[in-house]
Structure 1
Amino acid sequence: MAYPVVLVSADVRHDEGHDWHCAASNYLNAALNGSRAMPLILPSLGPALDLDSVLDRVDGVLLTGSRSNVGPELYGGEPSEENGPYDPARDATTLPLAQRTLERGIPLLAICRGMQELNVALGGTLATEIQTLPGRGDHRAAVSDEQDVRYGLAHDIAVAPGSCLAVTLGLPAEGGSARVNSLHRQAVLDLAPDLMADAVAQDGTIEAAHPRDSAGWALATQWHPEYWVASDAASARIFTAFGDAMRDYRSRRENAGRTG
């Protein structure tokens, strides 16, 4: 059976006099090997893109993490040098992409920056540099040249009973916990009205969410399950569920095409 196609968001990086539209290999490999889906990178060309024409041809959308942060002006904040870097071309692409993906019921997995994009796209706000806020922990990556250390599982999260994440992880009816990594300076402040919190860290940081009334499977995580998908059971379950949702969506789309 042919793999479903998953659309992957792209950062814009400037190098050697050119703007490059790119995605980290961790996400591509996790989609390919964890979800058994074929990743296709969407350039961050903003309003120039005909998103519906692209979404007509894919079975899922993966919003990736990034070193850049969502532009604060998009949720009523003020940009600052401390909170940067920013990627306005990506913002102009991923926020409408997230909205349209949900409207069409296409499976969506949003990771780290992707979760923040989803929250802002649906009307929520973000807290910047959360390690400076009273009562918040330091969610930044460990200082190391070793990626396994930087992406190491760092703290536990409390998973809400019956939530999308709880079901995905196979947790009991009363919910449970999971251990996750942490590599972010920005996090959800006001959760968008159409999102429900699936998990929180000990300091109250929202670590996962899903749309209340999405027509398709959708999950957002503040941590990075893509890094440990080959060895961590919880990470693998997330990408397996995403792949299953994409195959189900593709089957329904193909059946509709045959009967339409």
Structure 2
Amino acid sequence: MSGRPTVGITAATETVSYGAWKAMPAFLSPANYVYAVQRAGGRPVLLPPDEEDAGEPDGLLDLLDALILTGGAGDLDPDLYGQEPHPETGPVQQERDAYELALVRAAIGRRMPVLGICRGMHVLNVAYGGGLEQHLPDVLGHEEHRHTPGTFADHEVVLEAGSLAARAVGSERTPVKSHHHQGIKDVGEGLVVTGRSEDEAVEAIEDPSCPFVLGVLWHPEEDEKSQLIRALVSEVS
């Protein structure tokens, strides 16, 4: 074993086809999360939902130095934050929700560095007792954050001076790639908003009482120039 820090990357349950196999269940995460951690000098480990670890996450976290909560196609179950489902919400993966919420709560309890990306930012906010805007176009009046299926929208985010988000990115204004239809409505207790897009959508939240607990609505793993995942790995190197 080398001295590389081990970074857990959450994985989703999806149905895939490959070779002669059709509609097979699989645990997966986009490869760019893995590549970004490797470029930063970390050892990536995929974390599929696991009922036993959800019940007792400390044993798993003993093996990790940092945690990335990834994005994904599914939305969080609105019941987790006390709302009825919006017509545009879904599908939900309740097993994944329970697993990731258990992991992040335990990680925060031990002050482990955590980065939530897109859906992972939503998990982080709900873990702190916050709520979500289930369909941002209802409040923003546009679909620019996911304008084309299968592509990322390019826009800018403004970050609070001196915030963890700004330090991790290396700037108070940054171009980002995003693809989402949900966002932050009620900010979780203990979290602060440190980034917004020009349309005022919340783009970054963080816990100032912890060394590195950050959620971003964009996808830094899709931009090889982004320093965000490198900053997470550097925190535990």
Instruction: Give TM-score, length-normalised by structure 1.
Output: 0.82
Query: What amino acid sits opposite 2:76 in the alignment?
Result: V
The 3 A distance-change label for structure 1 pair 2 and 72 is same
2:235 is equivalent to residue 239 of structure 1: no
Could you tell me which residue of structure 2 aligns to residue 44 of structure 1?
49
Select the residue among 87, 92, 108 that pairs with 1:86. Answer: 92
Which AA in structure 2 matches 1:211? D
- CA drift at 1:203: 1.8
Gaps of 5+ in 2: 17-21
Q: Which of 127, 136, 143 is residue 138 of structure 1 equivalent to?
A: 143
Alignment-derived partner of residue 80 in structure 2: 74
Match of residue 159 from structure 1: 159
Query: Which of the numbers 202, 216, 225 marks the counterpart of 1:221?
Result: 216
Given the superposition, is the C-alpha separation of residues 75 and 39 from structure 1 closer, same or farther in structure 2, using an over 3 Å criterion?
same
Q: Distance in 2 between matches of 1:80 and 1:199?
A: 26
After superposition, the C-alpha distances for 1:180-199 in whole angstroms (9 at most, x for unaligned) are: 12200010001112111110
Residue identity matched to 1:221: V
Alpha-carbon separation, structure 1, partners of 2:113 and 2:74: 24
Deviation of 1:48 (Å): 5.0
Which residue pairs with 2:184 in the alignment?
188
Confirm whether residue 212 of structure 1 aligns to residue 231 of structure 2. no
Show structure 1 runs of 4+ deviating over 6 A. none
- 2:15 alignment partner in structure 1: 14
Q: 1:243: Cα distance to partner?
A: 1.1
> Is the contact made by 2:53 and 2:59 (CA closer than 8 Å) also made in structure 1?
no
Q: 2:3: which partner in 1?
A: 2
Amino acid at match of 1:243: V
Amino acid at match of 1:85: P
- Contact 1:157/1:207 (CA < 8 Å) preserved in 2? yes
The TM-score, its normalising length taken from structure 2, stands at 0.90
- Using a 3 Å threshold, how does the CA distance of structure 1 residues 69 and 144 change in structure 2: closer, same or farther? closer
Runs (5+) with no aligned partner, structure 1? 248-260
Identity across matched positions, percent: 29
- Name the residue aligned to 2:117: 111
User: What CA distance in whole angstroms lies between the structure 2 residues aligned with 1:17 and 1:136?
Assistant: 36
